[in-house]
Each structure stands twice: as C-alpha cells, then as structure tokens.
Chain A
C-alpha cells in the first residue's frame, strides 16, 4: 500500500520503519529535514511537504506533539488537505484532546478527507517492536481500509467508536498509567522508608492482586534508578492536562487524576520534565528527606 508518514520523532520513526518492513511504500515528510534521513536510508521516499505526501498516497499518517501541530500539518498551508484527492484517509496517531480531534476531523471532512484518531500506547519499545496498542475512532469503512497499516505497527488494534473515541480511550489509558506510576512510586518509597527491601516487595506483589504492567516495568526501572526516557514526564503532564480539561468541560470529578496531575506539574517545575515518568520516585524522595532509608 502507498502510505504517507508525517512526524518522525521518537515514536514516528520506528513506526514508519515497520511500515516499510511490512512491504508498504512509504512517503515521508518532516519539519526537521534531518529526522527524515534514517527513513530515506531504509527506502522511504522524500516529499517536500505534507501536501505532497498526500498527493502521492491515499492514506496518510501523522504523529506529532500537540493539537496545533496536527492542525498545521492537516489543515494548514501545504497541509494534507491541500494535496488530498477524493476518498483520502488521514490517520492521526498523536495524543490530543478528544474535542480537538473531533473538530479537526469535522473540518477535514468538509474538504473530503476522512480522519481517524488512532493514538497509541506502548511507548518507544512498543513502537520498535511493532507491538503498540492502537485505539481508533472514526468511520468504520475507513478503519477497515487502514487496518493492514495498523497491523504493521501494533499488536492490539481496536476501533473504539466514532471520531474522538480513540482519544477518549487514550485519555483513560493515561489516567491509569499516570495514577499507576504515582501509586507504584509511593509504594516503593514507602517500603524503602520503612526499612524494607523495595525490590522484594515488588517481587512479592507481582504475584497478587496489585499486579500491573506498571508495577512490573516502571517499578523495575525505579528500583534500577533508570530515569532515562522512555516516556518523558512533560509529555505525561501534557496528557494529564488534557484529561483534566475534559473533566472540567464535562463536570466530572477525577480526584486521583487531579492529585497525580499536580505531581507531574511538580516534576516539570523542579526540572524532572525531561526524565522518564518513573522519576516520580525522585520527586517523592525529595518530599521525604532523600533517597535513603
């Protein structure tokens, strides 16, 4: 399949490479030219703009930082809509607010483009291994057409519902992982400060009802004091901000998410924003007299 790819960052680059590996013809464009080189070396075709990508491929994919970036590459000058022909499908895999996704999809629909919001979970590791969890919202027929592409990048691919539904699922994912990281950091810090071996606590808990992927993976990285991203704390802060803004709009109380969002604020404010989310542990240690027992 001919496919366009826009946004070759930490996640986008391995995802685009997996499309090439699966035999698809990939056309790439990125604002930063140098980020395209690894893809070109792997056989991707160089395009001069998002519009040109859309002229060459009937399905385009974007994965960028925030809603204004999605808007820019799809609806902006020389964006996807400028190059798209009838029946074009655009898949946005960025994490943005559900309301923003719906708004962009509606404006693209006016220009004949069907947009699917398809944010992912699984991090850089999942992107490299093509084992991402993909949560999609949009037209069912468009989703079916794009399915082979999703399957080249992810393992668990689910159409959640109509436009915006993928982003709602992603927001739920970020609530669970954000609150989960905070809970694991609190538990391990609690064990340590109680004079108990936190590694053995984690080991024991993995066999019981407190088992979670976050305890397994993030917990191990906390014990190893490996704070290298992974998923940067400032990005999780951004995602929690989306969650809290939606909660405000809907009139929903999310007390645990609210507390966690404040901890991410504190991480960013205290210079831990470029570390992985697991540096939440360092923040708690800073509030409890350091990393010692």
Chain B
C-alpha cells in the first residue's frame, strides 16, 4: 500500500520502518525536517505538507501528542483532509480524547474519507519489536482496508467498536497501568520501610496472584532506581487529565484513578515530568521526610 507517516518520535520512527520492511510504499511529513532526516537519507520521500502526503497515499498514519495536534494535522491549513482522495483512510495512533476521535471520524465521513482511532500500548520496546497492542475504533469496512498496515507494526489488533472506541480502551489501559505503577511503588515503599529487601519481595510476588507486567518491568526499574524514561511521566499525566475529564462528563466515579491523578500532579510539581513514571516511588520517599 502507499502509506504516509507523521510523528517520527520514539514510537513513530521504528513503526515507519516496519511498514517499509513489510513492503509498503512509505512517504513521510515532519514538522521538524531533522526528525525525517534518517529516513530521507534511506530514500524515503519527504513531503512538503500533510496535504501533499495525503494526496499520494491510500492511508496516512499519525502518532503525535495531543487532541489539538491531530485536529490541526487533519483539518488545519494544508491538512490531510485537503489532500485525501475519497476512499483514503487516516489512521491516528495517538492517545487523544474519544470525543475528538468521534468528531474527526464524522468530519472525514462527510467527505467519503475513512478514519480509524488506533492507539497503542507497549511503549518504545513494543514499537521497536513490532509487538504493539492496538485498540481500534472504526467501521468494520474501513478497518479492513488498513489492517495490513496495523499488522506490520503490532501483534495484537482488537477491533473494539465504532470510532472513538479505541480511545476508550486506551483510557482504560492507562488507568489500570498507572494505578498499578502506584500500587507497585507503595508496595516496594512498604517493604523498604520495614527494612525488608524489596527485590526479594518483588521476586516472590512475581510467582503469585499479584504478578503483573507492571510489577515485572516497573518494579525492576524502581528497585534498580532507574528513573530514565521509557514513557515520560508527563504523558501519563496528560492522559489522566483526559480520562478524568471524560469521567466527570459521564458522571462515572473513579475513586482510585482520582488519587493516582493527584500523585501524578505532585510528580509534575517535583520536576520529574520528563522522567519515567516509576518516579512515583520517589514521591512517596520524599513525603516520608
């Protein structure tokens, strides 16, 4: 397929390479030309605007930071919508508000263009290994057209429901994952407070009912006091604002997530937004004093 890619960051660049390796005809656009330099040197065409990229592609994948960024890429001046031919598909793999995903899908549909919200879980490692979990929200027929692209970057692709449903699943993912990181931090902090070897505790727990990916990966980071980002905590902080705002709109109580959100707020104030979310452990330690 002729596929375009926008958002060549820690996640996006390896994803773009996997698409090319799978035999797709790749082209890119980048707000900062230097982020496309490596691919350009390998012969990947770099377009001058999102519209130009859309005009040469059957589908364009975006993975950027915020709802407003995706909106601007799609419907801003020289945006994707201005270039897409009818029947083309925009696959947005960013984490944004479900309401924005629904709004984009509606506006595209009015022009005969498809939209898939397909946020991912698995982090930089999952992107490098083409092993991402992909949660898709789209009409069945639209998703079918771009499934080969998703299969090139992910291992587990689940069609959750109509447009926006992928973002709802991602919100659930973030809520469970970050709450688990907080629980992990509290457990290791408790072990430390007792003067018990936290590494031994983690190792024992991994064999029992409390075993989880978070305890495995984030627990190891905490014990090794490795707070360099995997995923920057500020991004989880952003995700929490989104999901808590939606919960308020829906009248859904999320008592645990609300507390975790407050810990993330304190983490931001402590200046650890660009560090890993494992820093939630450091926050508990600093409030000991």
The chain A residues found within 8 Å of chain B, CB to CB, are 237, 241, 244-245, 247-248, 250-255, 258-259, 261-263, 265-270, 273
Contact = CB atoms under 8 A, between A and B. Distances in A.
B251 interface: yes
Interface in B206-256: 237, 240-241, 244-245, 247-248, 250-255
Given A237-B248, A241-B245, A269 B261 contact: no
B269 interface: yes
Contact of A266 (B253, B267, B268): B253
B244 A244 contact: yes
B266 A253 contact: yes
B259 interface: yes
A59 to B, nearest CB: 35
A185 to B, nearest CB: 15
Interface string B96-111: 0000000000000000
Contacts of B269: 250-253
B245 A258 contact: no
Nearest to A256: B262
B189 interface: no
Contacts of B259: 255, 258-259
A263 B247 CA distance: 12
Interface residues of B, number: 23
B251 A253 contact: no
A258 B261 contact: yes
B265 interface: yes
Contacts of B254: 262, 265
Contacts of A241: 245, 248
A248 B237 contact: yes
Interface in B248-289: 248, 250-255, 258-259, 261-263, 265-269
A245 B245 contact: yes
A273 B253 CA distance: 13
Contacts, number: 69
Nearest to A261: B258
Contact of A248 (B250, B255, B263, B265): B265
Contacts of A270: 251
Contacts of A263: 253
Interface in B194-209: none
A261 B248 contact: yes
Enumerate the 8 nearest inter-chain pairs by beta-carbon distance, A residue then B residue, closest first: A269-B251, A251-B269, A268-B251, A251-B268, A266-B253, A258-B258, A253-B262, A253-B266
A241 B248 CA distance: 7
A101 B75 CA distance: 29
A286 B143 CA distance: 43
Nearest to B248: A241
Contacts of B253: 262-263, 265-266, 269
Nearest to A240: B248
A247 B263 CA distance: 11
Contacts of A258: 258-259, 261-262
Contacts of B258: 244, 258-259, 261-262
Contacts of B267: 251
A247 B244 CA distance: 12
A251 B273 CA distance: 10
13 contacts: A244-B244, A244-B261, A247-B262, A248-B261, A252-B266, A253-B263, A253-B265, A254-B262, A255-B262, A258-B259, A258-B261, A262-B247, A265-B250
Nearest to B270: A251
B265 A252 contact: yes
Contacts of A253: 262-263, 265-266, 269
Nearest to B237: A248
Given A253-B263, A259-B255, A265 B268 contact: no
Contacts of B240: 248
Nearest to B253: A266
Contacts of A262: 247, 253-255, 258
B271 to A, nearest CB: 9
A183 to B, nearest CB: 16
Contact of B241 (A237, A245, A255, A265): A245
A248 B247 contact: no
A265 B251 contact: yes
A147 B198 CA distance: 62
Contacts of B266: 251-253
Contacts of A250: 265, 269
Contacts of A268: 251
Nearest to B260: A258
A246 to B, nearest CB: 10
A253 to B, nearest CB: 4
Nearest to A270: B251
B255 A269 contact: no
Nearest to B241: A248
A247 B265 contact: yes
